[in-house]
Amino acid sequence: MISDAQKPINSGFNAKSETKDIIKDIDLNNKVAIVTGGYSGIGLETTKALVAAGADVIIPAKRPKIANQNLNGIVSEDNVIEMDLGNLNSVKSFSDSFKENFNTLDLLINNAGIMACPETRIGNNWESQFAINHIGHFLLTNELINVMSDVEGARFVSLSSSAHSITGILWDDIHFQSAKYDKWMAYGQSKTACSLMAIEFNTRMKDRGVEGFAVHPGGIITPLQRHLEKEEMVALGWLDEDGSPSELAKNFFKSTSQGASTAVWCATNPDLNGLGGVFCEDCDIAKRKSEVDESLQRYFGVADWAINSDEASKLWEATELMIEKL
């Protein structure tokens, strides 16, 4: 089943809205937020925006030294806590540390991730993109879910991507243990999983006052592309042969602030009250793919498989089993 709310609300913002526009008149004083990957790329811009609105932002960081350098003057070193999404013991340790120091959590933004990387196995022979982008975040979310319960206005935001349109969940071979590894199929599946996590989170938590949203941030050149060669980005249409941004990139790509805006909008905007369980892009609720011009479906709209509540429930339960078997 797909939410009836999965349609634009004419938010008044757009693809080029900056985070400063989103947080104007938003007061996050006395609010606590966690932003994974909140020290690089759009995650850093998300952190800056939340801090500017008054939030106390906690940053789980695989590389705390680099995080503290990037966040100097933005958040204190005490708010940067080591965590590796590829190591579930590390995720558990971070969660325990947070709960020792905070009784409630207002905003959880699962922003960190990897993209189109070479085949790597972690955990229980898990494919690394699915493991880091989905399983690690899934454990983090479940460890913190009780401190979000019954917190007025609490929200969960899970970063997906237009790459979710590559594939739904590969139920017969999620971890590419039989099929030949394909880095883009693996990435697309992981981003479908990120969307479905928000859908099921909302189903489970909406009666406890907490809402979940999936977000496609848009095309942005950030360190996320570190595994891609120039030739591949040319083939994708992101760069011209000389390495400069293509016309496609100039027309559709965003600055890092613009790329962070949809996540910040989903985390803070009161117009979304009661509308959880949807996929958002360009600072509005996204259209379904079937309602987008066919020539633009590669980049815009959400595929039904990424917002289907039956798929979301199935994935939640399957991920619980994966973690239990570790």
Half-sphere exposure of 187 (CA within 13 A, CB side): 17
Looking only at the bridges linking them, the beta strands covering 278-281 and 284-285 are antiparallel
> Using CA of residue 102, residue 105, residue 111, residue 113, what is the dihedral sign?
positive
Residue 77 has pLDDT above 70, yes or no: yes
Q: Which of the following is catalytic: 160, 162, 165, 195? A: 160
DSSP state of 302: B
CA angle 44, 95, 84 (to 5 degrees): 55
60-76: pLDDT as tens digits: 999 999 999 999 999 99
Residue 245 has pLDDT above 90, yes or no: no
Q: What is the location of CATH 3.40.50.720 in the chain? A: 19-219+256-325
- Label each residue of 116-152 as H, E or C: CCCCCEECCCEEHHHHHHHHHHHHHHHHHHHHHCCCC
173 vs 320: CA distance, rounded Å: 17
Indicate the class that CATH gives domain 19-219+256-325: alpha beta
- Is 299 designated active site? no
Q: For the residues of 231-247, what is the DSSP string, one character each?
A: HHHHHTTSB-TTSSBPH
Flag whether the pTM goes above 0.85. yes
86-135: pLDDT as tens digits: 999 999 999 999 999 999 999 999 999 999 899 999 999 999 999 999 99
Q: Which of the following is catalytic: 62, 183, 191, 289? A: 191
Work out the average pLDDT over 190-205: 98
215 vs 111: CA distance, rounded Å: 10
- Is 191 designated active site? yes
pLDDT of residue 225: 47
Share of the chain above pLDDT 90, in %: 85
pLDDT of residue 296: 83
Position with higher pLDDT, 144 vs 324: 144
Q: Which of the following is catalytic: 62, 161, 183, 187? A: 187
Report the 10 Å Cβ neighbour count for 27. 11
Residue 295 has pLDDT above 90, yes or no: no
- Is 181 designated active site? no
pLDDT of residue 303: 97
pLDDT of residue 220: 73
Q: In which band, very low, low, confident or very high, does the pLDDT at 252 lie, cut at 50, 70 and 90?
A: low
Share of the chain above pLDDT 70, in %: 90
Q: Which residues of 201-238 are buried (b: 16+ CB within 10 A; e: fewer)?
A: bbbebeeeebbbbbbbbbbbbbebbeebeeeebeebeb
- Of the candidates 94, 324, 116, the one whose C-alpha atom is nearest the C-alpha of residue 225 is 116
Q: In which band, very low, low, confident or very high, does the pLDDT at 54 lie, cut at 50, 70 and 90?
A: very high
